[in-house]
């Protein structure tokens, strides 16, 4: 079964809109674990518009499943991750002003940079993953960066799923085959939801983990958090 990591950034966005501590980030994270999630994901950005650096530090002692920190590897981000020592760090090539992650790494152009960053995390015992698209040359070059895993950027799959699901999944199947042959672990995330998740998980061989935030938190407004997590977990049972 593929693990479900719940991204709680949207909970922080709601809290920050009003100030104070409602909803409680820590309670949400521990409740997600209690309800069956196998991991918690956070993505602190430089402007701290949702999850703040201090949130990450305060969460770490209480996360009992996998703690995954996403972000662009700036000096401040690297320092944060090394001090917190999560299970996994997922590197994304986001500029500070983007609304959400919208592209994978160019592992050819950024090979040297990624090698240096990844080696620093691995020296500190932190598993690494890099956000990447389905281009075969980028996946093959990812091996040379030293990363443990790749996270497939699934926006194109989500956009095309309702039109032609076989067409939508094809490049991801091919990407997974390349990653499996190269010995890379496979994660996935971005716009996965209750409609498209099951088909994706059924067709991607070696899928270890999905990270889902926006859709899951939105569904929780209607179904409740505990029930929603169970609904997502069912989609991952093949």
CB-based burial label for 46 (10 Å; 0-12, 13-18, 19+): middle
Q: pTM for this one?
A: 0.94
What's the 3-state SS for 150-198? EEEECHHHHHHHCCCHHHHHHHHHHHHHHHHHHCCEEEEECCCCCCCHH
> Could you give phi then psi for residue 88, rounded to 5 degrees?
-140, 145
Helix (H, G, I), strand (E, B) or coil at 107: coil
Architecture of the CATH domain 3-235 = Alpha-Beta Barrel (3.20)
pLDDT for 1 equals 85
The residue behind tokens 């998740």 is 197
Cis upstream peptide for 23 (omega within 30°): yes
In angstroms, the CA 45 to CA 175 distance is 28
pLDDT for 85 equals 97
Domain boundaries, the chain: 3-235
- Sequential pLDDT tens for the chain (238 residues): 899 999 999 999 999 999 999 999 999 999 999 999 999 999 999 899 999 999 999 999 999 999 999 999 999 999 999 999 999 999 999 765 555 556 789 999 999 999 999 999 999 999 999 999 999 999 999 999 999 999 999 999 999 999 999 999 999 999 999 999 999 999 999 999 999 999 999 999 999 999 999 999 999 999 999 999 999 999 999 6
pLDDT for 94 equals 76
Contact 92, 68 (CB under 8 A): no
pLDDT for 117 equals 97
In angstroms, the CA 112 to CA 116 distance is 6
Helix (H, G, I), strand (E, B) or coil at 203: helix
Collect all residues with Cβ–Cβ distance below 8 Å to 159 and sequence separation of at least 6.
168, 191
Task: Identify how many contiguous H helices and E strands the chain contains and give both numbers.
Answer: 11, 8
In angstroms, the CA 209 to CA 5 distance is 7
Active-site residues, by number, are 43, 70, 190
pLDDT for 100 equals 55
In angstroms, the CA 187 to CA 153 distance is 9
In angstroms, the CA 145 to CA 108 distance is 9
pLDDT for 93 equals 93
């Amino acid at each position: 079964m593929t693990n479900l990591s719940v991204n709680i950034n949207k909970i922080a966005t709601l809290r920050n809109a009003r100030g104070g501590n409602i909803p409680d980030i820590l309670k949400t994270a521990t409740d997600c674990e209690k309800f069956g999630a196998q991991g918690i994901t956070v993505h602190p950005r430089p402007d701290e518009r949702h999850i703040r650096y201090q949130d990450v530090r305060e969460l770490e002692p209480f996360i009992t499943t996998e703690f995954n920190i996403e972000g662009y590897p700036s000096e401040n981000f690297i320092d944060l991750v090394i001090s917190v020592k999560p299970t996994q760090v997922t590197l994304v090539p986001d500029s500070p002003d983007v609304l959400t992650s919208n592209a994978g790494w160019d592992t050819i152009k950024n090979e040297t940079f990624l090698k240096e960053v990844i080696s620093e995390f691995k020296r500190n015992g932190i598993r690494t993953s890099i956000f990447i698209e389905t281009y075969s040359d980028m996946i093959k070059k990812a091996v040379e960066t030293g990363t443990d895993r790749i996270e497939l950027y699934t926006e194109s799959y989500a956009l095309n799923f309702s039109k032609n699901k076989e067409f939508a999944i094809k490049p991801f199947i091919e990407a997974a085959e390349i990653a499996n042959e190269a010995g890379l672990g496979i994660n996935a995330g971005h716009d996965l939801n209750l409609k498209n998740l099951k088909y994706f998980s059924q067709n991607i061989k070696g899928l270890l983990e999905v990270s889902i935030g926006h859709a899951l938190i939105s569904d929780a407004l209607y179904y409740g958090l505990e029930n929603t997590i169970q609904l997502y977990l069912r989609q991952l049972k093949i």
